[in-house]
Amino acid sequence: MVASYGMLDYIEGSVIAAVIVLNIVIGFVQDYRAEKTMQSLHSLSAPIATVIRDHGKVEKIKAEELVCGDIVKIHVGDVVPADLRIFEAMNLETNEALLTGESLPIPKNPESTVKDANCPIGDRHNMAWASSTVTKGRGLGLVVATGMNTEVGRIAELLRGKKQREGGPFKRFVTRIKDSGKNVLGLVGTPLQVKLSKFALFLFALAILLAVIVFSASKWRINDENLIYGICVAVAVIPESLIAVLTITMAVGTKTMAKGHVIVRKMQALEAVGGVTNICSDKTGTLTQGKMIARKAFIPGLGELKVKGVEGPFDPTSGKVFLDDAVIDGALANQNTELERFLEGIAICNLATVARNEETGISSEKSIGQWTAQGEPTEISLQVLAMRFGKGREDLMATGDWELLAEHPFDSTIKKMSIVHHHKGRDTIEAFMKGAGEVIVPTLNISEVRKGEIMEMIERLAGEGLRVLCVAHKRIHRSDAANRQVVEEGMDFLGLVGLYDPPRLETKDAVRRCKIAGVEVHMLTGDHIRTATAIAHEVGILAPAMPSALASTMVMTASAFDALTESEIDALPQLPKVIARCSPATKVRMVEALHRRGAFCVMTGDGVNDSPALKRADVGIAMGLSGSDVAKDAADLVLTDDNFASIVRAVEEGRRLFDNIQKFIMHLLISNISQVVLLLIGLAFEDAKGVSVFPLSPLEILWVNMITSSFLALGLGLEEASPDVMTRPPHDLKTGVFTWEVIIDKTLYGVTMGILCLASFVIVIFGANNGNLGIDCNHGFSESCIPVFRARATVFSVLSFLLLLTAWEVKHFTRSLFNLNPERHTGVFAVFHAVWYNRFLFWAVVAGFLVTWPVVYVPVFNTVVFKHMGISWEWGVVVGCCGVYLAVVEGWKGIKRWRKWGSAGRRINRDVEVGDVMEVEVKSD
């Protein structure tokens, strides 16, 4: 543009300026929409607060919606949403290192008072501060400050000014210049964005080199023509719309994932999730429905209870309880001491609440039918079982006999929970405990023979796919209530309860799709090994028949896995598909073992202790419904529905995004390569004055790069997932988008396109006009320039139409354009269905085709602005070039399919059964 104005070519300079402004406006609008999309997605992952409003109604709202006077519930793993004055607490401790620098958690005491108004905030033990995390216990607090009025908000206000850089004045100046330079050069953002920005800088350097070649060809006698020609070659090698199209494509990808119940917290995960090779998933609520039902219970002295006919898992009136085929009810609980004590245990040693749904407003409590529940699925099912006999927690508390003395919370490392109450009616101190059988049974006050019988019963129930909990009880002295070790030792056995959590209906198909896609699925669960094995078989993670060499290592307990050294783990033929009684430390070891095998893994988690594993995994995924705030902060993605199938959809979307980036990069670079070939060889076309004649005018190059190619590339970025996206192995993230297949294809197609453009110019000039290149045809139109102007129009049309064809051809790197989607459409008209599926790309191609005609034929506009003119018989050359190009591309794809090169070399072997579905091993030739 500057060169055109400098040479007083105002028309060309003005048109170039208009094209640049148009491209800037379009890019701004697209980037603005992408930014708005990202902001809306960030709001979905905003911190959530649990508040009590409307006469005791529990609701979950965004933390920013809290107001002073709200009552907020906090428990382990929560990030405190506002400054709270604690008025009820049970073993509550918070980590305030962010605010006070104190490395150890601070115990909270609601009865503590502060007499000094200037008391340091670290000593105010009746306060929980915003942004601190709950490391232990639970509590209720009154909101006294929100937002910028909180203590952490005041600190943020102080830091709102200039960000202080470390070092002296010179170092700060250099750092500021360095940061500004990175921003200008685009070297900030996700790894892929940075990589493509570096690639763009490489192309910029190449453009300068090509300009130097042009000037060297004229022996550095630089005049108007040489300068413009050098600029044209430089412009031709740079894909101007590359970064803009990438930004828009990724924004659309995050929006698509949000619709699929996956919130992207870190953009690099969006690029990486498509390349995962292993998924390590929780069982409860992820592979299963997370709606547990107490199906069986064993009470010593009474027998085995069975619950049948349950339709609503939260409804204690749904279904019936049977004892030896006879229906029983609450009357039996009042007559049988063992049953009464067992029901007291599962109701009192329980933090869940279940109530009738009398909701009139919006609430985020779990709601099924007329009943709502809040708490862990395990505890909800136990509470419902107790309520069937009229012995629910609320029923017991309503008597006024139960006074809470101490609570020892559940911990995933010890897998048990205990609670101590004073029963006023009996004037006794009752201690109850529940947890994993293998943890509790060895501590019980019973004989070894009896312990063995109970463990056999646990094994039997677990083999039926039930999650088995053991319940125990004893009476203690009040002074021992706070001593967990004393409370939990030597208890009496109350019974067992078997909980059934049915697999999600979509889980089996999701696991099958993972196997087809070459992604291994591992179940890491806290359940009993028999329960985990039964569910793993049911959803297809484990095959019904395994080789004897693998049988002993496919299913392991966490203790057995942790007992292995790293070398022993690496020597295993395969890593375990199921790890039972899994602890957070076991998850970390599993991630490390996968990394040593070169795997790229996803790890799911919901608890505070899962944070290390989520951070070490290549992609950490937190549960949005049951996950703690700490886990969400450590994760890259958050599932809003806690569903395993959503992880698979995220993998599919990641692969689609990766494929589309490859497609539009290939399309843009094919265009650039063809123009460089054309313009460099075009240096040989000299007129009578020895001046090189442009095969394409500067405006034609800009038009093709910034108008025609940009919308085609954007359409390819919006391409739907190819039919085989989940039937091929994961892509290599180390190689990135520039695979050898992409490099060879773009070079072949680009050179072919450049040669055909060159051939069309030669045919018109030398075949029909005896090599007449006119005089001074780079500056304006004259009678002697008619052949050159017609040749340019031919080259422009050939280049434009070949780019339109390329947009459809690169939809798949190996499949024919005429058989792009054989899974959906076959026959003569299959091509029409395939190109119509992506409406944006279809209309971009149609628009590119239609706009070519006015550019070529509108009088004055064509000769003065674009320096070409209308053509007639030359359209035969255009059609011929399109046919040759189509034959070359289709021929090359056919060769790749025949030789099984590139992506055509990946095939599916359906020979191994998994359950009643096929386990598919993806192989590469």
Active-site residues, by number, are 282
What are the CA-CA distances from residue 898 to residues 48, 539, 809, 813, 903 (Å)? Answer: 55, 37, 18, 14, 12
How far apart are the two ends of the chain, measured CA to CA in Å? 51
d(CA 266, CA 256): 15
CA angle, 629 as apex, 627 and 635 as ends, to 5°?
75
Phi (first) and psi of residue 190, to 5 degrees: -75, 160
> Are 369 and 314 a contacting pair, CB within 8 Å?
yes
Residue 403 near residue 422, CB atoms below 8 Å: yes
Hey, what's the torsion of the CAs at 736, 740, 743, 749, to 10 degrees?
-130
Task: Find out whether 631 and 608 touch, Cβ atoms under 8 Å.
Answer: yes
E-assigned strands of 259-365? 262-264, 278-281, 293-299, 303-308, 320-323, 326-328, 353-356
Measured distance CA(106)–CA(91) in Å, rounded? 11
CA 228 to chain centroid, in Å, comes to 47
User: Which residues have a Cβ under 8 Å from the Cβ of 371 and sit 6 or more positions away?
Assistant: 312, 314, 315, 316, 354, 355, 356, 357
How far, rounded to the nearest angstrom, does the alpha carbon of residue 572 sit from its chain's CA centroid? 30
Which amino acid is residue 104, in one-letter code? L
Strands (E), 652-737: none
β-bridge partners, 296:
306, 498
- Is there a contact between 576 and 533 (Cβ–Cβ < 8 Å)? no
CA distances from 266 to 37, 248, 633 (A): 15, 16, 10
Helix (H) or strand (E) holding 467: strand 467-475
Nearest to 483 by CA among 526, 429, 563: 429
The Cα–Cα gap between 256 and 254 comes to 5
Q: Helices 740-762 and 644-681, interaxial angle, to 10°?
A: 30
Structure tokens at 275: 């390349």
- Dihedral sign for Cα 10, 11, 15, 18, please: positive
Rounded Cα distance, 855 and 801, in Å: 13
> Which tokens sit at 466?
């039930």
Q: How far apart are CA 17 and CA 1, in angstroms?
A: 6
- Helical (H) or strand (E) element with 658: helix 644-681
User: Could you tell me if 698 and 778 are in contact, meaning their C-beta atoms sit under 8 angstroms apart?
Assistant: no
Residue 536 near residue 578 (C-beta atoms within 8 A): yes
Residue 62's SS3 state is strand
Say whether 524 sits in a helix, a strand or coil: strand
Any bridge partners for residue 138, and if so which? Answer: 75, 90
Residues 178, 695: Cα–Cα separation, whole Å: 41
Q: Which amino acid is at 746?
A: K
